[in-house]
Amino acid sequence: MRGCGTDDGCGCESPGLTRFEDALENLLSYAEKVTATVTVPLNQALGKVLAEDQCSVVNVPPNDNSAMDGYGVNVADLVGGDRCQLSISQRVPAGADPQPLKPGTAARIFTGAKIPEGCNAVIKQEDCEALGGVVDLPTAVKDGQNIRLLGQDIEAGAVIMAAGTRLQPHHLGVLASVGIAEVAIYQPLKIAVLSTGDELVEPGDELAPGQIYNSNRYTLTGLVQGLGMELVDLGIVADTAEATEEALLRAASEADVIVSSGGVSVGEEDHIKGAVEKLGSLNLWRMAIKPGKPFAYGNVQGKPFLGLPGNPAAVLVSFNILARPYLLKMQGADEIFPISYRAPIILNRKAQIRKEFMRARMVQEQGQVRIEPYSNQSSGVLSSAVWANGYAIIPANTEINEGLEVEFVSFAEVMS
């Protein structure tokens, strides 16, 4: 988690920083989609990416059914004044196979129940009054009223989900609704996560002077697992060139992608950058973003390497804005960017040379939605992410006056 400066781990505002948009474009150009597939049960598919289009073999609903509890009738039998009375000829609960509706009668029917042959409308029970074996009904009823038609939701043979869909709970529900029990997905990526720094101690151990707890390991573990990918946890790596090289080689042998935190800056104890250049190549380094300037991309023994800064808030932000879309593209997902919103921000600030991703809270005040940044945007203040519910995106070289509309991304969009 150590950096070389007090801001986000990389010291002064040096020239030669890569513009965020250029860095992201270049980064994504390196992402090669996984081709291996595996078939898994539906209850193990959450967060995974479909490798094949999914088609329905059934109609949903499988037959005309009632949209509510009430009485099924043939509209032609509703004669007289404003209301009429019909005898109740049958009771049709959900799951039953009803008899054809007898002419001049009504069927007591429940939500989801199959519509009897000869019935062409359902009158909700609140508009009816049962009198023993007879029901009093309104006559102003339209043909098809309160009936859900066969295939109204999904038609047999229709493509209900395309390859590249990253499966969320509602996707699983739709697949289950057409009887699909297992799906072909792209083989989940194996992501090796390692943290560098002799100052790091695992939670539960006692801190010695100068030491801090390793929060990055747990942030990254949660982020990787939230993407439905397989974690290879390599723990803490000592601050030596030998230990760093050994850890990177192990990561390259056991995983598809390597993600590190710390050690990509320019300090004497920062060995990641040199080790990556020795064992592979470094293609991107130092972004015009705040926090997260020391972000790096390259490869180790041909395996992609994503080097995140050491400061904990910078880890959270740089993973979400750079590593996450890269990994999702590799995983075969079609949608790799979060949905964003625009709202006025509560901030006055001079223009900055870097694009900033501020931990912030979207709040509603007197009916107006506004964005409130956390008071301390230091990249070492991870507690800001607990107070916040997303991040505000402040363009580079832009003076901010209170009330200016800016882009906002909710943590809910990027934390799963």
CB 264 within 8 A of CB 194: no
Look over the chain and give the mean of its residue pLDDT values, rounded to a whole number.
94
- Alpha-carbon separation of residue 363 from 23, 348, 360, 406 (angstroms): 31, 17, 9, 14
* Mean pLDDT of the region 63-87: 97
Burial of residue 96 (CB within 10 Å: 0-12, 13-18, 19+) is middle
385: pLDDT strictly greater than 90: yes
266: pLDDT strictly greater than 70: no
Q: What top-level class would CATH report for the domain 341-414?
A: mainly beta
Q: Where in the chain is the domain with CATH 3.40.980.10?
A: 20-36+188-331
Cα–Cα distance between 264 and 2 in angstroms, integer? 10
* Mean pLDDT of the region 380-388: 97
pTM strictly above 0.85? yes
Q: Name the architecture of domain 20-36+188-331.
A: 3-Layer(aba) Sandwich (3.40)
Residue 318 has a pLDDT of 97
406: pLDDT strictly greater than 50: yes
Residue 147 has a pLDDT of 98
2: pLDDT strictly greater than 90: no
Q: What is the distance in angstroms between the CA of the first residue and the CA of the last residue of the chain? A: 24
Q: What top-level class would CATH report for the domain 37-60+153-186?
A: alpha beta
Q: What top-level class would CATH report for the domain 65-148?
A: mainly beta
Residue 267 has a pLDDT of 58
Cα–Cα distance between 184 and 167 in angstroms, integer? 12
Tell me: the pLDDT tens digits for 296-324?
999 999 999 999 999 999 999 999 999 99
Cα–Cα distance between 394 and 410 in angstroms, integer? 15
Residue 336 has a pLDDT of 98
What is the percent of the chain with per-residue pLDDT over 70, rounded to a whole number?
Answer: 95
DSSP-derived letter for residue 293 is T
Q: Where in the chain is the domain with CATH 3.90.105.10?
A: 37-60+153-186
